[in-house]
Structure 1
């Protein structure tokens, strides 16, 4: 039967069955004429979805709600929701998404536009597509110049740990030995750490709610065990800014090369690849979805020319530095 309105308190509600689907809800108004119009619109929308398919009525706000209900939303979800609002998903195309990135971040670099607008918008729409609500959307990313990244080494981390407070040293050790991002490391709680199984749960901030389990090497177990347990989060810092301030202070004090905390993640990938671990395993252990990105970004060439001895099983030995004179 068509939707009919009825009064409950000061507000009019609607109920009825449209195309075999029972609908009911509040119009949010005490004005009967407006309530009748709202109910008529709800009924028309329901018929349109039934006759023309869910894509005919799916708005971005509804797609974002589905995305949030699946536990995949993060801070970027609200930003793009506020931009697209109730625009029909079927009307959102590649050109409009790229223009949205330019509008929201007019002075930002391509990497920021990709990360803050294109990735979340596409993820929300494609999640709805997986549910059969619309078609998938593909958006070309903005070009990002390749920058040679300086990775932190294990020797750098050890020197840092020797001079830093226990929780800050443990943070550096954690990121280098698990490949965790700074935000992921700061989100680790004591309940996520299993010393017996030598594992830790990492919530992957860039992968929309996904989690992974990471192994805890012995030095990392010792470092974490030495941290105070007076807070829920293992590494104590509540923000990346607070951690970064302490980090830079220690680096300046002991005269290490000024490398950011995020360089530990670079160091993890580079060290894994140089240790002979394949890019697929490196990507999985470090929480990267794109294996090609790992290979391109972190596949620094080894300077030792004798590395080819590994092809025949001969241990690699460094050649003497010819620039030094013999005594």
Structure 2
């Protein structure tokens, strides 16, 4: 219970009595002045609480803080390697130097964006909550500087040339990605039971942020996806050998070989800042979708981004004739709602 002031028979002075943080107090303030005694009571209680907090800070570990974080519905993704790396580490030992060492060991070849997402963001969330619980002092971890250069996206003409070089199994995968904006892992984990050909929709369960979402795709994408040999149950997209792909957090590698061969045959860049990769398809979808619909809210929902700033990185500046060129190649993302005529004057 909080400390309180009490009188004792035969003494003119005020006494402090009570228990705080397991510490029992029963002593005189050495003053009969109530105001002065109250100030002493407050100072005494604060000192006990401070010592208790220092004790917790001295012993609190990363594992303890991580458990508290997860029990408060914190995101579990990316925590396993962090828990192994920081096993036995006290929170007071985790600083920017420790983060740098963790990055070199856990993600030696990762991009700055990946280190921010998979290392610094989850650790920051755990430390921030621990600081609120008085388990450690607040600390601001230094995030990696991410290159903000314009990322490559494909024109309709480039994509059609690329699509023409794709083997059947990869054409289905790329067709779904370009039509829905799904990431590689989200695509490769899609089940036939949550793929709705009739409504041109799919329900993604294994998503990057852990929140399932419904996506949609245009008729042109359905034509690429729904070809002979598409499974009716189990995993929807299979390898050239008819097997499900191995799912990984850092996706893209599973389809890399076939993707790169088609890229080479289509004459697309394989090096430098304009290198075309599987992730280029997601940037392309965002640019195409927004150019035709001008619906940023729906772009955010379908893309599964947590904030508008991230979505803005994906939708690129595009020429005014892009919507019409997309239609000429059969790509129509408007899905029954009226486009903004000021931006889509050429659409019919």
Normalising by the residue count of structure 1, what TM-score does the alignment of the two structures yield?
0.63
For residue 214 of structure 2, give the secondary structure of its aligned residue in structure 1.
strand
Distance verdict in 2 for CA 1:144–1:245, change over 3 Å: same
Contact 1:102 1:113 (8 Å CA) reproduced? no
Where in structure 1 are there 5+ consecutive unaligned residues?
Answer: 1-18, 20-47, 305-309, 318-327
SS in 2 for 1:147: coil
By how many angstroms is 1:263 displaced? 0.8
1:150-183: CA deviation from partner (whole Å, max 9, x where unpaired)? 1123444444444433331121111112111112
Query: Alpha-carbon deviations, 1:172-221, whole Å to 9, x = none?
Result: 111112111112211212122133443212246432x2221111322333
> Quick one: structure 1 residues 189 and 129, their matched pair in 2 at CA, closer, same or farther if it must change by over 3 Å?
farther
**Could you say which residue in structure 1 is the equivalent of 2:289?**
272
1:219 aligns with 2:220: yes
Q: How far apart are the structure 2 equivalents of 1:174 and 1:155?
A: 18
Q: CA deviation at 1:91?
A: 5.8
1:175 matched residue in structure 2: 177
Which shows bigger deviation, 83-92 or 93-102? Answer: 93-102
Matches for 1:188-227 after TM superposition, within 5 Å: 188-203=190-205, 205-207=207-209, 209-226=210-227, 227=229
Partner of 1:73: 76
Q: 1:96 to 1:275 in 2, by over 3 A?
A: same
Partner of 1:289: 306
Q: Do the aligned residues in 2 keep the contact of 1:101 with 1:114 (CA within 8 Å)?
A: no
Q: Please state whether the residue corresponding to 1:206 is helix, strand or coil.
A: coil
Distance 1:299 1:230, change over 3 A: closer
- Corresponding residue for residue 144 of structure 2: 142
Shift of 1:264: 0.7
Could you tell me whether the CA contact under 8 Å between 1:184 and 1:204 is conserved in 2? yes
Q: CA deviation at 1:118?
A: 0.6
1:260 aligns with 2:272: no
CA deviations 1:115-144 (Å, max 9, x no partner) are 3311232345567789x7968875342111
Deviations 1:88-131 (A, max 9, x none): 4466456644564356556754224223311232345567789x
Distance in 2 between residues matched to 1:81 and 1:251, nearest whole Å: 39
The whole-number CA distance in structure 1 between the counterparts of 2:119 and 2:64 is 18
Q: 1:138 to 1:185 in 2, by over 3 A?
A: farther
Residues 84 and 168 (structure 1), Cα distance of their counterparts in 2 relative to 1, 3 Å cut: same
Alignment of 1:109-148 (within 5 A): 109-125=111-127, 139-148=141-150
Task: Name the residue aligned to 1:325.
Answer: none
Runs of at least 5 residues in structure 2 that lack an aligned partner in the other structure: 1-20, 22-48, 240-244, 247-251, 271-275, 322-339
Query: How far did residue 265 of structure 1 move?
Result: 0.2
For these two proteins, the number of residue pairs brought into alignment is 262
Distance 2:309 2:170 in 1: 31
Name which one, 1 or 2, has greater alpha-carbon Rg: 2
Partners of 1:85 and 1:125 lie apart in 2 by: 15
Query: Which of 309, 316, 319 is the equivalent residue of 1:299?
Result: 316
Q: For the Cα contact (< 8 Å) 2:189–2:235, is it kept in 1?
A: yes
Equivalent-residue separation in structure 2 for 1:281 and 1:303 (angstroms): 20
What residue in structure 1 maps to residue 11 of structure 2? none
Question: Which structure's residues are more often helix, by fraction?
Answer: 1
